[in-house]
Chain A
Amino acid sequence: MFEKYLKLTAYDAVFLLEATGTSLWITLVSISIGTVIGVVMGILRNSRNKLVSAIPLIYIEPLRNSPLITQLFLVYYGLPVVSGIVLDSNTAAIITLSLNTGAFFSVLMHNSIKAIPGAQWEAGLALGHSRLSVFINFIVPQVMRLLVPQAITLYINQLQCSSFVSLIGLIDLTKAGNILNLRTMRPFLIWTIMFAIYFIISYPLSQLAKKLEQKVAFSY
């Protein structure tokens, strides 16, 4: 008599689709915010002023050297205790993932700028460009070549890390898998489906990274 209850239904498909939407939405919003943070922090890291270049480390290092899950719990469970601000799980997830992406992006940005030979700066300056003009016209295009593929790899990684938000009550893809698994008692089937969905989203992105890599490529 439980036969029907153990089967996957059309309703489940919609449920999975919604959960996929949640995962994608949280990832997209937080990688967008994280990218903006990362660009700013990465540029500050390259400041010639030693103090200015060190300040972003206060933000970057703790986030790069602790598990995302701890950061998530700290924001969701810990922050309300000291601040009195109670965040819903959506907001907590986006804040945490954005900050986390930002920290990793800062490092990519910093390293990509640093990788451009100083001679490129000097050639631009010697032609009469301001530092800003050199940065925009000569450094940024060269930085993009290094940065874009690495950024996409980071984004794919963040999509996968977004599965942690299932642990603060969000019904993302992983949480949906959990729910269906408990109901249908078919772990192999359910987790294969979950695996496939993550893969189907990530794989084209990693291919896109390759394409973009070729598109922005030029050789030294």
Chain B
Amino acid sequence: MPMIEVKNIRKSFGSNTVFDDFSVNFDQSGVTVILGPSGTGKSTLLRCINGLETIDAGDILVDSLSVKEKRNLREIRLACGMVFQQTTLFPHLDVLENLVISPVKIQKMDRKEAVDKARALLDKVGLGGREHSKHNELSGGEQQRIAIARAMMMNPRALLLDEITSALDPEMTAEVLRILEKLAGDGVVMLAVTHEISFAQRVADRVIFLEKGNLVADASVDDFFSGIKSNNERIARFLQNISQG
């Protein structure tokens, strides 16, 4: 059974219909890279999955729980962590508190246990020793790595990643992608909206290509980059554009 089932959803903002009768499934394992031109609904898809946006019709099930039921949202969000494009560290808290506060408040985790776990995760993202930095003392790349660690504090089985490196320079991007690669190796399911083709080729199992709310391509990485790329002119042009930056 898939972990995430998107079933015939419709989603509009006013008169702008982003999805109409859109379906896609995501398995219990693996990394899926979501590609597509700007404004086609990549972010909207991720935000519908964890209930940050409501859907107008159809249904989305995460571990068989419907996002339409308000009481499911907590469990769904704990199962699917999210990291955003822009930095969202809580500015009034230091790095350690950013990580510790949610498991302590939501999962009633023992504080000491949470601190230990936070330290371990900070080590994992290469920021051990930065517990007491404030977010404005951190580079964009460091902030994103902390945002990843913060999401991992809740032990999510999946991560929803919405262009989390697109505001970073290449060096910082590489650092962040290395972390994602490690986590993928640990078996964390990922739905990653990204323009990092090399990351897709190296880490992803599957690539889907969205255009105007439609699934234009859905293939294994190998198939996508060998066959479909050359068979679909629009995808070929898209890939060419993003590889030129």
Interface residues of A (CB under 8 A from B): 119-120, 122-130, 133, 137-138, 141-142, 145, 218-220
Contact = CB atoms under 8 A, between A and B. Distances in A.
Contacts of B91: 142, 218-220
Interface of B: 50, 52, 74, 77-78, 81-82, 84, 86, 88-92, 101-102, 105-106, 134, 136, 150-151, 154
A119 B86 contact: yes
A137 B89 CA distance: 13
A23 B84 CA distance: 52
Contact of B92 (A125, A133, A142): A142
Contacts of B77: 125-128
Contact of A127 (B92, B134, B136, B151): B151
B81 to A, nearest CB: 7
Contact of B102 (A119, A127, A145): A127
Given A123-B88, A127-B106, A142-B92, A218 B134 contact: yes
Interface of A is mostly: helix
Given A119-B84, A126-B82, 14 more contacts: A119-B86, A122-B84, A123-B84, A123-B88, A124-B90, A125-B77, A126-B77, A127-B106, A127-B154, A128-B106, A138-B90, A142-B91, A142-B92, A218-B136
29 contacts: A120-B88, A120-B90, A122-B88, A123-B88, A125-B52, A126-B52, A126-B77, A126-B81, A126-B82, A126-B151, A127-B77, A127-B81, A127-B102, A127-B106, A127-B150, A128-B74, A129-B102, A129-B105, A129-B106, A130-B74, A133-B106, A137-B101, A138-B90, A141-B92, A145-B92, A218-B92, A218-B136, A219-B136, A220-B136
A119 B77 CA distance: 16
Contacts of A125: 52, 77
Nearest to A123: B88
Contacts of A129: 102, 105-106
Given A128-B78, A218-B134, A123 B154 contact: no
